[in-house]
Amino acid sequence: MESTVASKLEALLKLQSIDSQLDEIRRVRGDLPEEVQDLEDEIEGYEVRVRKFDDEVGALNDAIVQRKQAIKDSEGLIRKYEEQQENVRNNREYDAITKEVELQKLEIQISEKKIKEAHYQIEQKIAEIEGTKNRLEERRKDLENKKHELDQIVSESEEEENKLEQERVSASEQIEDRLLSAYSRIRKNVRNGLAVVQVKRDACGGCFNTVPPQRQADIAAQKKVIVCEHCGRILAGVEQRVY
């Protein structure tokens, strides 16, 4: 059975009505889904930063351990040199050992300086981590609230949304693919999501530009699919005027 233009237009109007209701449900949800996503991204960023700080502090602590061991080694060498100095045979040997001792003392000084620097860096990093951890906690609370808000809004409209989605599938099945893709294309290109409108008060129901009487008569006849010459929306009929 071949469907008439009138029945095609009727199916398109039905689909438009379903989509407009779905648009409204999503409008009520507003930016919440996006805000939740943004918060999740922000939190992930902070978590990465905290992990990086932890790694850096770990590396600094390792360096301190190594420097402390180096100091112990130098102290051991100094003790050994000082024992040797008691048994030297001449001044030349004595001076040579003195130089070695001074060298090890210098090594100890360098290590002590490095340890001090590392402690200072750790302190700074800990302060930074604290700030980030505080922000992370705040954002986690924000996320919890937003998610709760979104869940509530979604659960209020979920049943209706599912019902409309099902209706949408069966309404779409009654419209040929070519017309359906034109409908989707127009919907994407217009501001209010209306791809199928009626002529109201002599004007296009989408863009409100005047539709000439002859064209209105063609639209009312429903012999072919006619689009608005101004906005490209499908004009599915002429609304009956009530006097």
Rounded-to-integer distance, Cα 154 and Cα 156, Å? 5
Compare residues 31 and 202 and give the one whose CB is closer to Zn ion.
202
Strands of the chain (E only): list them.
196-200, 203-204, 226-227, 234-238
Are residues 207 and 233 in contact, defined by beta-carbon separation less than 8 angstroms?
A: yes
* Residue 236 binds Zn ion, judged by CB under 5 A: no
Compare residues 29 and 230 and give the one whose CB is closer to Zn ion.
230
Interacting residues with Zn ion between 189 and 208 (CB under 5 A):
204, 206-207
* Residue 230 binds Zn ion, judged by CB under 5 A: yes
Considering only 71, 228, 234, 238, the residue that binds Zn ion (CB under 5 A) is 228
- 125 vs 66, 122, 165, CA distance in Å? 20, 5, 52
Please name which of 188, 41, 48, 164 lies closest in space to residue 33, comparing C-alpha atoms: 41
Compare residues 88 and 207 and give the one whose CB is closer to Zn ion.
207
To Zn ion, the closest distance from the beta carbon of 187 in angstroms equals 14
Question: Per CB under 5 A, which region of 46-54, 67-75, 101-109, 221-229 contacts Zn ion?
Answer: 221-229
> Where do we find the tokens 């100095």?
85
* Residue 101 binds Zn ion, judged by CB under 5 A: no
Considering only 101, 164, 231, 238, the residue that binds Zn ion (CB under 5 A) is 231
Please name which of 99, 98, 103 lies closest in space to residue 82, comparing C-alpha atoms: 98
Return residues touching Zn ion (CB under 5 A).
204, 206-207, 228, 230-231
